[in-house]
Structure 1
Amino acid sequence: MKLGILVSHPIQYFVPVYRALSERPDVSLLVLYRTRMGVDAYYDPGFAQTVQWDIPLLDGHESHFLSNKTALTGYEPGIVKELLRRRFDVLIVHGYNGLTNLLAVLVAKLIGTRVFVRGDTRLQRHHLSAPFWKRLFKHFLFKMFDGVLAIGSLNRAYYAAFGVAEERIFFAPFCVDNAMFSLQAEELQIQRLKCRRTLGLPEDCTVVLYASKLILQKRPADLVRAFALVAPRFRDAWLVMAGSGEEEPILRSMVVAFGIERVHFIGFQNQSNLPTLYAASDVFVLPADAESWGLVLNEVMAAGLPVVVSDEVGAAADLVQGQGTGFVYPCGDVEALAGALESLLQSEALRLEMGKKARELIRAWDVDACASGIAAAVGYLT
């Protein structure tokens, strides 16, 4: 089966899935990239700095970069030529926003190529209360797809709410390269102590980690406020803030104003640094608002960390709520966040128990499961 995937750029989370699909004897895969972001350095406004990932993004799968000879950004007319030339059996588009993706869907349908969509939108109340014309448009749009690939339960609910029949919704779990973050116990301890020494942290402290962009939507200030509430009672606790962004000066000012001494800002961390950073940590917190999923949760759970997440993080419904892997609290409720931190900081046994359950649960959300889900979906309708 000739499978094409259209995606914005080489995304570090997706590339392992493309490699797994390429290894399947029943799939001949070509990934069509719209830009070289990530492979080439680019300015990320969220991180407020230039970013270039330090892991190979083009290995293990065949790819092609679309040309854009127009003055329009986000529009690559070369997609028409590629679809006519390649004649895929199935095309998967990542999302349906933008001229290139919509053009790809229309051309593919005209030439008889089956089309699937994969995205990370989760069902929220505002989707159901949107203006009638918007809801009608989505009903019409989703009828154009032969199938949709759901990344989780709330994403599945989103498609169902806009008229996609159950038999056209296929599960392909959102995943990361679990093996990259699942260190063996012996190596874990070595990396843990080494990283703590490098960061200037006491070897026997308890580390609460935040690793994401320092932007308003991620609500890192909630975590700083919550840590300020619990820090006086847990003198061995340290808060490590990994990431960069426009909120960093504000957060640093808050730390000074609250008189917290055990908060460490370590800046943007590239991919190769993350496994060691996770190994050095004890608890992970993602206090974000309007987070479609939060793949960083997959990473830290593969590393065996218990998590604390807001109820506005999409992954919470599948990976945390009722799973014994951590705590979910109402987004913006600093006292509730502090309470969850207190529960984990005061009990090493609870941290280890939840971390173990996190590692066990995330095994089912791996690259092979995602690749198998995609292959089964496109094979079912071809």
Structure 2
Amino acid sequence: MGVLSVVPSPYQRDLFEALSRRPEVALSVFYQERQPHDSPWPEQPLAAYEKILPGFALRLGMVRSHFNWSLPLVDHFDLWIINASLTSATAQALMRGALTGKKWLFWGERLTPPGSSWKGLAQDYLANALEGATGILSIGSLARRDYERRFPALRHATIPYCTRLEDFSRIAGKRTENVDLTFLFCGQMIPRKGIDLLLSAFARLVAEGLPVKLRLVGREAGLPGLLKPFARAVQERIVYAGFCAPGALPLEFAQADVFVIPSRHDGWGVVVNQALASGLPVLASDQVGAACDYVISGENGLLFPAGDEEALYLAMKQMATHRERIRPWGEKSIFQAKTLTPEAGAEKLVQAIHQALS
């Protein structure tokens, strides 16, 4: 089986490693790039089944497109999986050319809602390449509903991102509640992630005299400018920990009581996997793929409408004023995380492969 992916991200590599250990799968993974110039991830050695294709990437605004050559012959594989952006020229060439009449699956997140009519037309054109697929493996149920609507004639399955969570699970039973309820946000400090909504909602809690703190982990982006309007009393209760390498993340989650992800759009959100394994209640918008599948409102967290600052504020206030819910909701989160192991993901992927080849 051949896989075309983007970069050696830890989010995909854990699943690929589990898949490579399956006796019925001879795996080859081809990455379009070793890592983008602005990647926060440290480089790791490649496995024997992984290879970086020669090529380059071009950026147009927020869109990156890969151009690669020296691709392997598609006939050397019984099945291909395309796990790449639809804006990739390499992926488009394969889907519309060499893979025509072959068995191949697309594995991807929900498409980002286009910001204009012409972007919508461009997205529709790029997505039409999937009409030639044997099936679509959606990363989450939100993505699946979208792809089923677009391509009702194709086979569909749901394969979430499944990563190694043992380091997060180990700290789950050792956490102790903070004196000041500590909310954790982990991600880029950009509007799409809803960081502006989070800061405003948190400031309201501080203004009410509630004993709360906010810990921010991730690339700084526009954070300094976003913090400027807030009073010193608010800023003193916010800790920016900076970007953390994957190995250091469990220690960050260990310092939190509640995890918050207020994204306006998030195709999946692996940080939700990590928060669940850490035994944290999760407050998430209804546009976060992972939260829609694994956060049950009132059982291990709360879902609220994306972009709704008032709803986010009320969710945070509920946790700050009902701290007795933190432990039982965290235990439910741990239970939810047990289905997100790379081995579980590999099993689902093998089942999808068998269906595609049948």
Q: Shorter-chain TM-score category?
A: 0.7 to 0.9
The letter of the residue matching 2:226 is L
1:33/1:69 CA distance change after superposition, 3 Å: closer
Instruction: State the alpha-carbon separation in 1 of the partners of residues 56 and 293 from structure 2.
Output: 42
Shift of 1:171: 2.5
| Aligned residue among 282, 288, 297 for 2:272 | 297
Instruction: State the alpha-carbon separation in 2 of the partners of residues 273 and 381 from structure 1.
Output: 39
Cα deviation, 1:260-286, whole Å, max 9, x if unaligned, reads 421111111111110111011101111
In the other structure, the counterpart of 1:198 is none
Gaps of 5+ in 1: 45-50, 194-202
Instruction: State the alpha-carbon separation in 1 of the partners of residues 170 and 209 from structure 2.
Output: 28
Asked if 1:228 is matched to 2:217, the reply is no
Instruction: State the alpha-carbon separation in 2 of the partners of residues 132 and 243 from structure 1.
Output: 30
Cα deviation, 1:197-250, whole Å, max 9, x if unaligned, reads xxxxxx633211111101121121211111111124455321111122331111
In the other structure, the counterpart of 1:36 is 34
1:185/1:33 CA distance change after superposition, 3 Å: closer
The letter of the residue matching 2:329 is M
The letter of the residue matching 2:13 is V
Instruction: State the alpha-carbon separation in 2 of the partners of residues 218 and 235 from structure 1.
Output: 24
Contact 2:180–2:211 (CA under 8 A) maintained in structure 1: yes
| Aligned residue among 156, 159, 162 for 1:169 | 156
| Aligned residue among 43, 51, 64 for 1:64 | 51
Asked if 1:274 is matched to 2:249, the reply is yes
Q: How many residues align?
A: 350
Instruction: State the alpha-carbon separation in 2 of the partners of residues 223 and 234 from structure 1.
Output: 17
Contact 2:171–2:278 (CA under 8 A) maintained in structure 1: no
In the other structure, the counterpart of 2:133 is 145
Cα deviation, 1:275-311, whole Å, max 9, x if unaligned, reads 1110111011111112222221111111111111122
The letter of the residue matching 2:32 is R
Residue aligned with 1:204, SS:
coil
In the other structure, the counterpart of 2:294 is 319
Contact 1:172–1:369 (CA under 8 A) maintained in structure 2: no
1:322/1:229 CA distance change after superposition, 3 Å: closer
| Aligned residue among 189, 197, 217 for 1:214 | 189
In the other structure, the counterpart of 2:87 is 97
RMSD, matched Cα:
2.9
Shift of 1:165: 3.2
Contact 1:5–1:93 (CA under 8 A) maintained in structure 2: yes
Residue aligned with 2:293, SS:
helix
Between the aligned residues of both structures, percent identity stands at 27
Instruction: State the alpha-carbon separation in 1 of the partners of residues 316 and 205 from structure 2.
Output: 8
In the other structure, the counterpart of 1:48 is none
Q: Under a length normalisation based on structure 2, what TM-score does the superposition of the two structures give?
A: 0.87
In the other structure, the counterpart of 2:9 is 11
In the other structure, the counterpart of 2:304 is 329
Q: Please give the residue correspondences for 1:119-268 in structure 2 after superposition, counting only pairs within 5 Å.
A: 119-121=108-110, 137=125, 140-165=128-153, 168-183=155-170, 188-189=174-175, 204-233=179-208, 235-256=210-231, 259-268=234-243
Residue aligned with 1:224, SS:
helix
The letter of the residue matching 1:151 is I
Gaps of 5+ in 2: 60-64
Q: Under a length normalisation based on structure 1, what TM-score does the superposition of the two structures give?
A: 0.82
In the other structure, the counterpart of 2:62 is none
Contact 1:122–1:157 (CA under 8 A) maintained in structure 2: no
| Aligned residue among 67, 72, 76 for 2:68 | 76
1:10/1:342 CA distance change after superposition, 3 Å: same
In the other structure, the counterpart of 1:199 is none
Residue aligned with 1:14, SS:
helix
Instruction: State the alpha-carbon separation in 1 of the partners of residues 99 and 49 from structure 2.
Output: 23
Contact 1:74–1:100 (CA under 8 A) maintained in structure 2: yes
